[in-house]
Amino acid sequence: MVTINVTNKLREHTSIHWHGIILPFQMDGVPGISFAGIAPGETFTYKFKVKQSGTYWYHSHSGMQEQTGMYGAIVIDPADAGKKLADREHVILFSDWMDENPMSVLSKLKKQGDFYNLNRLTAGDFVRDARKAGVKAAMDNRAMWNEMRMNPTDLGDLSAAALTYLANGVTPAGNWTALFKPGEKVRLRCINGSGNTFYDVRIPGLKLKVVQVDGVDIEPVSVDEFRFGPGETCDVVVEPKDDAYTVFAQSMERTGYARGTLATRAGLTAPVPAVDKPEWLSMGDMMGDMSSMSGMDHGAMGHMNHGAMAGMSSMSGMDSMSSMDSMDSMESMDGKTGVQPMQGMDHSQHQMAPANPLKVPSKKARHAKTEYGPSTDARVDSARTNLDDPGVGLRNNGRRVLTLADMHTIGGPLDNRGAEREVELHLTGNMERYAWSLDGLEFGKSTPIHFRYGERLRVILHNDSMMTHPMHLHGLWSELETPNGDFLARRHTIPVQPAQRISFLVTADALGRWAWHCHLMYHMDMGMFREVVVS
């Protein structure tokens, strides 16, 4: 049992959220959801029983305080230490810092969504593409993106134009250093505590043996590199042989990096690699599985309006809102609830139907009627479901990159029951308006999602946008599954790539009110946030 007294010496309200820690909802630290916040001069006492071990972190859930430095690492040792995986360990908390007021930055994004995109297309890029593919192909390509009002290089809202990338609060020039002795195995507990940055982490010259994600042990897997977003943690074990290595974490949009040094003594450095060349979003990132349809003239897409493109997966003329997948139907289409098995259907008329209609996650997109509004600029009908894609910028880079498909929690799921119902949420946005939402509804326009206490349910997150969203469900474990419904890994923050459809199982075993949101801070602040009520 831990007791933590938090005294607010600021001149504004504050809070502390214990990210990934399973605890009573009153201790979760989300103002307006689990408590009122901590007023200036007041002390709030957090008290809860520790039920888990691993690498976690904490941060403020008030205003923009997380972005301006209110965060820190948590390491919980297991009660039974058992066999140690390493001789020494270090915590590396990656974050990002802005000198400008975060609200000023947000104001600029609302006026121009790609304001901080340093990789916007130029006339020189067009000339290069024309030389490579021909003038017509280059013009068609530009026309396609222009008519959709999208930018293929806009991978993140912010860049080095606004951010300084940090490792344990130290700039790249500061060279944060972690020491080791020759012959030691070293465990690096990596935490992404940034407000806005996906980091791609590698140590040139060393293999990374991934042993834990989100505080939960997985079957060890050896990689060269891993990507993680805000809210995620990843523990790796390395076996250094030389005197110094660079810990290199480049931002996903490739405008900068955080770095440190793993060395036998202070003052040593190792070569710092150049930042990789930025890559464009692909057709798969834009339209999911539709991009692989044979015979489709992608060049012709440039002459179609965005609304037409969003509906292209209904190639047979079927209205996706009225269609059914397996034996499921929408309980409602307003984003308030989810999907449940149909009641009263004569199953004898459907001999081809599976015995358990919820054994396999549904694949057919169910767009809520609220998605058809100003907060949504695209809808993906045929999202991709594969989990072995490392993401834009990491595909075929010559390095072995960790993917969701590589993660296998030791011991299997906490609950062996299958799903009793499905809840489907769509990650939606409008880049021109800089609006972010779930099912086309910003938080202020939404109503809570209800889970029944004790039920086992499947959650499907369907990304209709062209950005990757790290989705964090408070208070409950998210048990990631394969497209076939097989258990993969226990997570508290799940990154959902553009035009991707991901499913996980949840046991609603924690009564109370919980937050559920994208962990990109500005996306959460602009409305990609819901309340979950377990009752």
Tens digits of per-residue pLDDT, 404-425? 999 999 999 999 999 999 999 9
- pLDDT score recorded for residue 159: 87
The more confidently predicted of residues 198 and 323 is 198
Question: What radius of gyration, in Å, describes the C-alpha atoms of the chain?
Answer: 23
- Integer Cα distance of 166 and 192 in angstroms: 10
**Is 130 a residue whose pLDDT tops 70?**
no
Query: What percent of the chain has a predicted confidence (pLDDT) above 90?
Result: 73
- Integer Cα distance of 124 and 129 in angstroms: 9
Look up residue 293 and give its two tokens: 């349809």
**Is 363 a residue whose pLDDT tops 70?**
yes
Packing angle, helices 123-133 and 135-147, rounded to 10: 130
Phi, psi angles (nearest 5°) of residue 306: -65, -40
Partners of residue 6 on adjacent β-strands: 44
Give the 3-state DSSP-derived string for 269-286, with helices as H, strands as E and coil as C: CCCCCCCCCCCCCCHHHH
**Is 308 a residue whose pLDDT tops 80?**
no
- pLDDT score recorded for residue 153: 63
Q: Beta-carbon neighbour count of residue 495 at 10 Å?
A: 23
Work out the pLDDT band at 188, boundaries 50, 70, 90: very high
Phi, psi angles (nearest 5°) of residue 434: 50, 60
User: What average pLDDT is seen over the chain?
Assistant: 86
**Is 77 a residue whose pLDDT tops 70?**
yes
| Strand (E) or helix (H) holding 103 | helix 102-111
- The size of the chain, in residues, is 535
Is 335:441 a contact under the CB 8 Å cutoff? Answer: yes
**Is 68 a residue whose pLDDT tops 80?**
yes
**SS3 call for 115:** coil
- pTM confidence score: 0.85
Residues with Cβ within 8 Å of residue 99, at least 6 apart in sequence: 164
Work out the pLDDT band at 129, boundaries 50, 70, 90: low
Please give the domain boundaries of the chain with CATH numbers for all domains: 2-80 (2.60.40.420), 84-117+153-278 (2.60.40.420), 325-342+358-534 (2.60.40.420)
Q: Residue 493's closest CA among 228, 157, 103? A: 228
Is 387:483 a contact under the CB 8 Å cutoff? Answer: yes
